[in-house]
Homo-oligomer: A and B are copies of this chain.
Amino acid sequence: MDTPQRRGRRGPALQTPVTAAIASAAFDELAENGWQGLSMDAVARRAGVGKAALYRRWPSKDAMLMDLIGEAVARNLPDLPDSGDLRRDVRAFLDLTVAQVADPRMPRIGLDLLAEYVRNPAFSEELRRTVAQPRREAAATILNRAVERGELPAGIDISLAVDLMISPLVLRLVISGEPVDEAVLDRMTSMIIAGAAATTAP
């Protein structure tokens, strides 16, 4: 028999084979033509599906892509153990970020994701909630633990320090595209620790 085994739902989508086919086709089109270049007709054709099948699931092209991408990105959430040492924690955070962005489908889709993120306020909020916030919280946890351990001074600006943990790496990975090797990550780690410690009110 072929009982449609519901295995711990990954999210509302991908429940039926039709939805899965749409998702696959959409990602292919996204990688080939980008967000703006993707047309609903092309996705439906590629998925061997009627256009109505798409609009039965999402109210618009943007909503569909937000949902599909958001879900895909949200799936790989950071899971960082407490190493008991700030330097190791920070380095692990950076490594995880590099690993996630290094996903083979990321280079092309990721940029379009950011493009649409800044373009579309609704998606902006959705993505902030599902993607950015969890990562910011993970970074904040690392910093707070270090404060508790006394590795960082008490009065630091956590929010600013979190920006510091995320933005220089994202700039390199997503925007400037410069290579990020071990040595750079080492120096970046030092930079983050020193910088974070200096975010106290003067």
Contact = CB atoms under 8 A, between A and B. Distances in A.
A166 B171 contact: yes
Copies in the assembly, this chain: 4
A119 B35 contact: yes
B191 A160 contact: yes
B191 A196 contact: yes
Contacts of A114: 114-115, 118
Given A115-B116, A119-B115, A171-B166, A191 B199 contact: yes
B168 A172 contact: no
The interface residues of chain A, by DSSP majority, are classed as helix
Interface string A171-191: 110111010000110111011
Given A164-B195, A191-B199, 9 more contacts: A111-B118, A115-B116, A118-B175, A132-B176, A160-B168, A166-B171, A167-B168, A183-B201, A191-B195
Listed from nearest, the 4 A-B pairs whose CB atoms lie closest are A195-B195, A194-B198, A115-B115, A167-B167
